[in-house]
Every structure is written in structure tokens, then in C-alpha cells.
Amino acid sequence: MVRKSVALIVTVLLVLMVPAFTSCAQGGGEVVGGTTVLLVRHGQTDWNVLGYLQGWADTTLNAVGLSEVEALGASWEKEVAMSVDVIYSSTLSRTKQSAEILAKYLSIDPFEIRLEPNLREFSIGILTGVPSSQLKANQDYLNIYKNWLANTDYAQPTGPSGMPDEYTKHCLEGKEFIGESLNTCRNRVWNALEKIVSENKGKTIVVSTHGGVIGMALCVVTDTPIEKYNKQVPPNASVIQLKFADDGTVIWVNAPSE
């Protein structure tokens, strides 16, 4: 009789414990529910290749960049394996082009892409259009850049590009570019992402944006100092998945192990 009682108790305990084990297995450390944001960096531009600082200069994808995004779209079903409800894009041409290509593969009308100015790359004032090689050679510009990284509240001087040339002038001529601190950029980017999530609860969202924007967003998610954003910048035409839980936490899904 005692053995039967013990066996009954063990059986009951096992039955009670199974849901708990099942719950842990299903969670697997991932957020259940919530809203998925897929951050897509635009395809390659000639300025990427040549090392010009782009900022808010309205550059376009080159042939490689167009092919990169086409390849991403063509492999989406297999590699990303997620249906998408809505696409947002920065207002700059290189991200709009990328969004329009992806929309074709995701069965979304390109005219339904939602443009968000606050998803633009950080604005770098008079450094816009300066070749990175010349940045190092020009002490004044180098000091501006170093100050920008060292003091996250420091904004570059606002004005026209300090170094236009025949190649870049079509994007720079007659335009002034504001200077923006790292903190200002981080705040506008994160506020934009939170607004997008609040307007699309429970959905899967593609955000076509820029390397610096993604780097800053990942700094927020991983609690990394914002001046190290460039360590988080992904390759052109790549996808970063963020999961915004209903309790306000955010997880970088499939983040690389340290």
C-alpha cells in the first residue's frame, strides 16, 4: 500500500512538472509575442566604396548595391523566413531604392512604403562629402571628427560641404548640412523606432535604413556607449532582427556571441 501511495505521488508530481519544463523549452530564452523589427542596411553605394562620408548626402545604389538587395530579396523566404506586414524607410534615395526592391519580393505595394525622416543617417555638417583619406590629412576636420566621437553632445559645424569635388558636387551643390551630435542622433533614431513599434503592435516590420542608424540602435539594445556605434555597423544589404516585447524589453535575436 505504501509503495502504491509513493508511486501515485511521484506520478502526480511528474504531471505537474511537465508543463513547467515545456514552457521553458518553448521559451528558449526568446521573447514570445511582441513586435519584430528587421533592420535592413541599404545596398552598396559608390561613396561606400570610395570612402566618402555620406551623412545626409542623397546618394544612390550602384550596380553592386542593386544586386545585393535583389539577392537579399530573392533569398528572403529561405534565409529570413519571415512574412512582413509593413515596410518603413529613411527618406534618402539609397534606402528608398532598397525598400522598393524588397517590397517586390515581400508582396508589398511600393506605394505603401512608409517614409520616416528620423531614420536617416546621422548628419555630419561640413564633413559631408569629405573623403575619409582627406579627413585624416586635414587637421581641422580631423579635430572636428575626434571631438564628435569624444564628446557625445558635440555637433559638427553646420554648413555646406567643406570639400566638394567634381565627383560629389551633384549631391552637395547648393546644400547646407546640419551638424548633429551622437546623442541627438541616437535619441531621434530610437524615438522613431519606438513610434514605429507602437503603431504596429504584434507585426513584423522591415526598416530600410543606414549603417550608422543600425549601429546606434544596437548600442541602445546592448547598453554599449554610443561612441562605439561603428563597431556595431553591419554589412550592406544585411538584416538585423530586434524583438520588442510587450513589457518594453528589446532583444537582439541571433546576436553574435562575444
- Determine the Cα–Cα distance for residues 152 and 238; give it in Å rounded to an integer: 27
Give the pLDDT of residue 12. Answer: 33
Chain position carrying cell 547648393:
174
- Determine the Cα–Cα distance for residues 222 and 244; give it in Å rounded to an integer: 13
The answer to the question of residue 240 being in a domain is yes
**Which residues in the chain land under pLDDT 70?**
1-32, 258
Give the pLDDT of residue 22. Answer: 29
The answer to the question of residue 71 being in a domain is yes
Give the pLDDT of residue 6. Answer: 38
Which DSSP helix (H) or strand (E) runs through 64? helix 63-79
**Domains in the chain, number:** 1
Query: Each residue of 138-148: pLDDT tens digit?
Result: 999 999 999 99
Q: CATH number of the domain that 226 lies in?
A: 3.40.50.1240
The answer to the question of residue 134 being in a domain is no
The answer to the question of residue 151 being in a domain is no
Residue 199: CA count within 13 A, CB half-sphere: 13
Residues 6+ apart with CB under 8 A from 137: none
Considering the entire predicted model, what is its pTM? 0.86
Looking at residue 58, the DSSP 8-state letter turns out to be -
Side chain identity at residue 173, one-letter code: E
The answer to the question of residue 26 being in a domain is no
- Determine the Cα–Cα distance for residues 120 and 89; give it in Å rounded to an integer: 9
| Cβ atoms of 141 and 129 closer than 8 Å | no
The answer to the question of residue 25 being in a domain is no
User: Residue 191, exposed/middle/buried by CB under 10 A (0-12, 13-18, 19+)?
Assistant: exposed
The answer to the question of residue 96 being in a domain is yes
Range of the domain at 79: 35-124+182-253
The answer to the question of residue 97 being in a domain is yes
Distance of alpha carbon 179 from its chain centroid, rounded?
Answer: 21
